[in-house]
Amino acid sequence: MVIGRLFFCVTAAALALTSIATAQTDDLEWVGSWATGQQLVEERNELPDGFTDDVTIHQTVSPTLAGERIRVRLSNEFGDGPLEIERVVIADATAAGSIAVEQGSTVPLTFSGAPGITIPQGAAWYSDPVDFTVTPFDDIAITMTIGEAPENQTGHPGSRTTTWFAAKEEGITENSRNQPRWYYIAGIDVLAPADHASIAVIGDSITDGYGSTTDGNDRWTDVFARRLQANPDTQNISVLNMGFGGNCVTRNCLGPNVASRIERDVIAHPNIGHVIIFEGINDLGGLARTAPDDRQAHDAMVGDIIAVYEQLIARAHAHDIKAYGATITPFKGGDYYPFNENTERARQQINDWIRNSGAFDAVLDFDAILRDPADPQRLRPEYDNDHLHPSVEGYKALAAAVTLELFETNTE
């Protein structure tokens, strides 16, 4: 009987501890600290021949929200077959794009308790939660060993961050191959108090950071995230960059069209509080190439883009997400898209709707920030990279122009 009572006491104590731990976990929720949009990687951006199967891939990312328990999201969403991941470890990277990690920081991931996982075709997969301290803007290394991989690779070509890869029996060294792309990694979530949330930014190459510094983490969203973390009233907010170079609103250009990716790139992520929509320049630029003199086609494009905006706003509001619209910036003088009056007129019409329709919950007037006062159809010289994309100084100007009060969640 004594043994029985002892067993009962020990069991009761264990249940009590479990209840306390569950209650503590229940007070926390998953929030994105870092994420990137996924697409079918174009042939020119794929892993090279010989480095697709039986390969080790070492990648770094820059989180934007603190946490002490995390999970990693991997993606095979554009694969045409299963993706065999044999092993994944995370560690504190010594720098963005570096193969070096902080000594003693490496932690293996598991998947339903196993060291690896085969992700089915078209699916994304969370790792098991693991204790790992995340500090905003301290880079995290994700090193994975791939067995068999589908021919179609899933990833994010515009990483602006160096990724290293080698045959798995060799391991990653300073002599390993590298290129600035991300493969198969989609997000890192942290457990955080319930008042924490993420901002998802749907954008094109300007949001993706074209012209920013490789391994410099100086896209406009990076600078914006640092502003949020430096402000005591917005330190509970993270930024998830969902920009794609060459992306379009109304049709598939590079990456899926915006109307098709709102679910995967915004709503599927936990605790999104806001979405910023900053797209349209590639739709207009494409029409400037193919039908510069067709005013009717430009008028139709204006209506089509506005219709997609309305759909995005409706989808966001259905999930209690505030939708903020950013005006389309100037691109006169560039070589990539020819300038013409029909396209400029269409840009002004769309921007007028963004500013004055009242459809968005707030407006970020990026056109007003970047345009040249002497010639508003062009970028300001000090913010101009190639007459289409801002310079690093231009990215800083965009980030500095965002009103942080729009994102405060702890105001009374």
Pairwise CA distance, residues 51 & 184, whole Å: 14
User: Residues of the chain with pLDDT > 90: what percent?
Assistant: 91
Q: Is the dihedral of CA 400, 405, 409, 410 positive or negative?
A: positive
Q: What is the pLDDT of residue 408?
A: 87
Nearest of 283, 231, 256, 274 to residue 360 by alpha carbon: 274
- Band of the pLDDT at 7, cuts 50, 70, 90? very low
What's the pLDDT score for residue 1?
Answer: 36
pLDDT recorded at residue 227:
98
Q: How much is the average pLDDT of 2-26?
A: 40
Q: How confident is the model at residue 139 (pLDDT cuts 50, 70, 90)?
A: very high
pLDDT computed for residue 13 by the predictor: 36
Tokens of 204: 């094109």
Tokens of residue 396, six digits: 């800083």
Residue 18 has pLDDT above 80, yes or no: no
Q: What proportion of the chain, given as a percentage, has pLDDT over 70? A: 93
Domains, the chain, ordered by start? 29-186 (2.60.120), 194-407 (3.40.50.1110)
Residue 3, pLDDT score: 38
pLDDT reading at 403 higher than 80: yes
**pLDDT for res 410:** 54
Q: What is the pLDDT of residue 25?
A: 59
Mean pLDDT lowest among 70-74, 183-187, 331-335: 331-335
Q: Residue 23 pLDDT > 80, yes or no?
A: no
DSSP code string of 336-368: SS---HHHHHHHHHHHHHHHHS--SSEEE-HHH
| pLDDT tens track for 271-327 | 999 999 999 999 999 999 999 999 999 999 999 999 999 999 999 999 999 999 999
Q: CB burial class (10 A; 0-12, 13-18, 19+) of residue 144?
A: buried
Asked if 167 contacts 51 with a C-beta cutoff of 8 angstroms, the reply is yes
Q: In Å, how far from its chain's centre is CA 261?
A: 12
| The CA-based dihedral angle spanning residues 264, 265, 267, 273, taken in that order and rounded to the nearest 10 degrees | 170
Q: What is the pLDDT of residues 232-278, one digit of tens each?
A: 999 999 999 999 999 999 999 999 999 999 999 999 999 999 999 99
Per the CB < 8 A criterion, the answer to whether 341 and 298 are in contact is no
pLDDT of residue 24: 43
The structure's pTM equals 0.92
Query: Has residue 143 got a pLDDT over 80?
Result: yes
Upper half-sphere CA count for residue 23 (Cβ side, 13 Å)? 6
